[in-house]
Amino acid sequence: MFQDRRELVALLSPDGRVRHINGSAGDLLGYAPEALTGASLGEHIHPDDVEEAQRRLQLRVNAPAGSSGRAVFRFRHADGGWRWLEVTTRNELADPAIGGLVLNIRDISDHIALSERLRASEARYRTLAEAVPVGILQADSAGQVQFANARLAGITGLESDRLLGKGWLDAVHPEDRERVAADWRLDSGCDAAATDFRFHDPDGTGADRRVLCQRIRLEDGGTIATITDVSEYVLTANALRLSEARNEAILDTAADAILTVDEAGVLLSFNRAAEAMFGVAAGDLLWRPLDRLIPLADLREEGGIRLEFAPGQTTALVARDRAAEAERADGTRFPVELSVSASEVEGRRVYTAILRDVTERRRAEAELLAAKEAAEAGNQAKSTFIATMSHELRTPLNAVIGFSQLLETQAGTAAAGGRQNDLVADCVGAIRQAGEQLLAIIDDILDMARVDAGGFSLVEGSVNLSALIERVVADLRFHATRQGVTVEVMADGDLPPIRGDERRLGQALGKLLSNAIKFSHPGGPVSLTAGLAVDGWVELSVRDRGVGMRQEDVEKALTPFGQIDQTVTRRHEGIGLGLPLALRLVEAHGGTLTLDSAPEQGCTATIRLPPLRIMTIAELLASMS
């Protein structure tokens, strides 16, 4: 049986070794039968197929006797090449006359190669069919569509599977459908001429598409048809006419004057706004050299250097908002602003200019500038007046305060009869206190005027924050005691020295502490904390638990002369300069001032100074020397 078979027959043991193989092994694999006998046939199987072959071998060993299975593997030929072999394996282990697995092996390499070439050919065809910019239909001899590419689906608006058979006719416009169906049924021996018709949007929402169909007969009686969407070509002429009409309408309704000249200066277009602006009809100027109205140099490239277009570009901006002077037909001259673009088609260059009469705008700008200068002069005069007034008020106030202090000292001596003149002392003290309060207000006004006028400058030096805080608290201790407020200080023991204006920083901190005392409830605490934040900034915070304010009032509180309580019966005195002045002083040091407050929850004012204000050891030593 082994020798008489023309195909390769082999008998394998359960472990896959060849026990017998017929002489066809030489023709099929190029090996003599004795070279394969006793060896494992798996040694000649392609590495990618070995695992599958072993799995199928074991499956067949465990299968019922007489069962068979088929598989395709690649085997190595004696010449080093690979052959596709179809292997049919039958389990004859139970047969004592055979006692193994019987393999019938057939070479199907040519069949596989032919199938691969066929699949490659079909793939190329489909790739080309999907890549072309036209729709493609392939129909059999009965006219049933078997293939439609994606482009045709896009043209018709139908899914590709709905185009098969005669479904594509559903997308043809109802008025053209009968004619197209009749053309499609023409005898296959006739050459159908190109025909045009319309596809209709199946949803009824899109525009109709006009197409051109060309059919090609195949040898098997089938048909290939190409369908080209020519709707854009049909629409181009209409669109061009509409565009020309639209451009004319835009030019005639535009509020600005628009004119076009060629390189020789010949006027090509002149809209109605231009006629009104220059006082001359377009018919009197068109197709004539533009020798008046506006200089040609203002309508071309600056310096006469011809503008070069980028590749593929036909239009470029020459000038935008160029200032020029034009002349009306009656000879009057007026200022204009114009934007110019250059266009070039087939070597012919034209310049389009949009002109705007800016006579009224120039007049308004001049009036606005004059008003601005007047306002700035008035503001400067105000600042000068405030500064002068402050100095004038300080002189008599200093005298009032000085003499009140002298009288207060003398009132403490024994009066006639050795009795203390308490009434005189109280009156003199009230005079001194009122004078000092008025002097502080004047100082605040003067400082704010200096800041606004730009005449404010810092006198920088080394600042000991701990000493500064101690001095500010001491200056306001009497004020706190009179209000029944306790001031608590919590400062880091290793506060670094900073570079700044000690008097101005103390003034800013004093304003915050004074406000906290003023707006605290009697007996309430005020805390002042100082230390380094995690980001390296220096933080000074003043917190009270008094009346507080709404968050939307914070911006108003930081505005000069801003008063949250502006009623006649307001409980707290002041002119609204404390917080704004503190803010300006902190910002002058590069820092920030923030307020966090809520009604009846108090307020926390925080000064933050940047790390660059912290002095290094070298800077500290230099300042000490």
Instruction: Summarize pLDDT for 125-180 with one digit per residue, the tens.
Output: 777 777 777 888 888 888 888 888 888 888 887 887 888 888 888 888 888 888 88
Residue 542 backbone phi and psi in degrees, to 5: -120, 120
pLDDT tens digit sequence for 315-345: 788 888 888 888 888 888 888 888 888 888 7
Assess whether pLDDT exceeds 60 at residue 473. yes
Residue 589 phi, psi dihedral angles, 5° rounding: -90, 5
- Residues 139, 145: contact at Cβ < 8 Å? yes
> Is residue 463 classed exposed, middle or buried when 0-12, 13-18 and 19+ CB atoms within 10 A define those classes?
buried
pLDDT of residue 411: 61
Q: What's the pLDDT score for residue 204?
A: 61
Q: 133-137, 292-296, 495-499: which has the highest mean pLDDT?
A: 495-499
CB 290 within 8 A of CB 296: yes
Please tell me the distance from the alpha carbon of residue 28 to that of residue 36, in angstroms, as a whole number: 12
> Could you give the residue ranges of the DSSP H alpha helices within 149-267?
150-156, 174-184, 231-253
More confident residue, 464 or 243: 464
Q: Which of 443, 446, 423, 445 is nearest to 435 (CA)?
A: 443
Note the pLDDT tens digit of each residue in 29-78: 888 888 888 888 888 888 998 888 888 888 888 989 888 889 888 888 88
Instruction: State the Cα–Cα distance between residues 520 and 546, nearest whole angstrom.
Output: 4
Q: What is the pLDDT of residue 513?
A: 92
Residue from 517, 524, 520, 525 nearest 475 by CA: 517
Asked whether the beta carbons of 383 and 452 are under 8 A apart, the reply is yes
The answer to whether 279 and 293 have CB atoms below 8 angstroms apart is: no
Answer yes or no: are the C-beta atoms of 349 and 343 closer than 8 Å: yes
pLDDT at 542: 94
For residue 534, the model assigns a pLDDT of: 92
C-alpha distance across the termini of the chain, in Å: 119
For the record, the structure tokens of 239 come out as 């669109």
Q: Which two tokens stand for residue 65?
A: 């006797």
Q: pLDDT band for position 567 (50/70/90)?
A: very low
- pTM for this model (two decimals): 0.38
pLDDT beyond 50 at 416:
no
Tell me the DSSP string of 511-568: HHHHHHHHTSPTT-EEEEEEEE-TTS-EEEEEEE-SS---GGGHHHHTSTT--S--ST
pLDDT of residue 564: 52
- For 206-227, the pLDDT digits (tens) are 678 888 888 888 877 788 888 8
The Cα–Cα gap between 556 and 553 comes to 5
**Tell me: the pLDDT tens digits for 397-415?**
676 777 667 766 766 554 4
Provide the pLDDT for residue 470.
92
Q: Of the candidates 42, 46, 6, which has an alpha carbon nearest to the alpha carbon of residue 27?
A: 6
State yes or no: pLDDT of 2 exceeds 60: no
Tell me, what's the pLDDT at 582? 87
Q: With left for phi above 0 and alpha for psi between -120 and 50, is residue 434 left, alpha or beta? A: alpha
Residues 6+ apart with CB under 8 A from 444: 575, 577, 578, 581
pLDDT the model gives residue 444: 67
CA 205 to the chain's CA centroid: 34
Please say whether the beta carbons of 185 and 143 come within 8 A.
yes
Residue with tokens 């197929």: 49
pLDDT band for position 526 (50/70/90)?
Answer: very high
CA distance 260 to 341: 10
Burial class (CB in 10 A: 0-12, 13-18, 19+), 80: exposed
Contacts of 502 (CB under 8 A, 6+ apart): 461, 463, 468
Q: What is the mean pLDDT of the chain?
A: 80
With a CB cutoff of 8 Å and minimum separation 6, the contacts of 227 are 134, 135, 136, 137, 152, 155, 211, 212, 213
Q: Is there a contact between 476 and 487 (Cβ–Cβ < 8 Å)?
A: yes
Show the DSSP H helices in 30-167 as ranges: 33-36, 47-61, 109-131, 150-156
Sign of the four-CA dihedral 374, 562, 389, 451? negative
What is the Cα–Cα distance from 153 to 160, expressed in whole angstroms?
A: 6
More confident residue, 388 or 103: 103
Q: Give CA 426 to chain center in angstroms.
A: 71
Q: Residue holding tokens 């009179």?
A: 482
pLDDT above 70 for 624: yes
How far is Cα 286 from Cα 266, in angstroms, rounded to an integer? 8
Question: Which residue bears the tokens 């009749």?
Answer: 182
CA 392 to centroid of chain Cα atoms: 58
Confidence label for 529 from pLDDT (cuts 50, 70 and 90): very high
H/E segment holding residue 502: helix 502-518
pLDDT score for 157: 79
